[in-house]
């Protein structure tokens, strides 16, 4: 039985992407803190139903935004770990190298454009 050799990403500017990922991580963390502050339960003295509903709607949107950022932050952290291991920039699905342009646009990408396209 042949052992499957994992591809190691090459031709990648490790420092460049590490910096990018760390910046993104910081930005997302700041974002999360800010959204959390805004989603803190607000006591509503108003008796007008509409306003309360609106408020709930805003909170739902906020929570969704929070979840999205939290998920992205997780991906960023995984990407940082991969960068350190040397497997960064490899599609987790087909194990092909992810296009540099894609990584530059979304450094936390773990799927190549083909796999990302067929997944969504």
| Alpha carbon separation from 57 to 43, 45, 54, 70 (Å, rounded) | 15, 17, 5, 20
Is residue 79 close enough to count as binding Zn ion by CB under 5 A?
no
Distance of CA 44 to the CA centre of its chain: 33
Task: Using the rule CB under 5 A, give the single segment among 52-60, 64-72, 75-83, 94-102 that binds Zn ion.
Answer: 94-102
Task: Using the rule CB under 5 A, give the single segment among 5-13, 35-43, 70-78, 111-119 that binds Zn ion.
Answer: 111-119
Q: Which H helix or E strand runs over 36?
A: helix 14-39
Is residue 97 close enough to count as binding Zn ion by CB under 5 A?
no
Q: Which residues bind Zn ion (CB under 5 A)?
A: 91, 93-94, 112, 115
């Amino acid at each position: 039985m042949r052992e499957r050799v994992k591809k190691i990403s090459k031709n990648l500017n490790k420092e460049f992407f590490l910096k990018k990922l760390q910046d993104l991580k910081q930005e997302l963390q700041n974002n999360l803190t800010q959204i959390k502050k805004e989603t803190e339960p607000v006591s509503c003295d108003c008796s007008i139903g509409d306003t309360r509903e609106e408020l709930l709607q805003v909170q739902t949107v906020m929570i969704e935004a929070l979840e999205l950022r939290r998920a992205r932050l997780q991906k960023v952290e995984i990407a940082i770990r991969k960068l350190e291991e040397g497997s960064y920039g490899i599609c987790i699905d087909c194990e092909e190298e992810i296009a540099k342009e894609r990584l530059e646009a979304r450094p936390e990408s773990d799927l190549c454009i083909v796999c990302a396209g067929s997944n969504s």
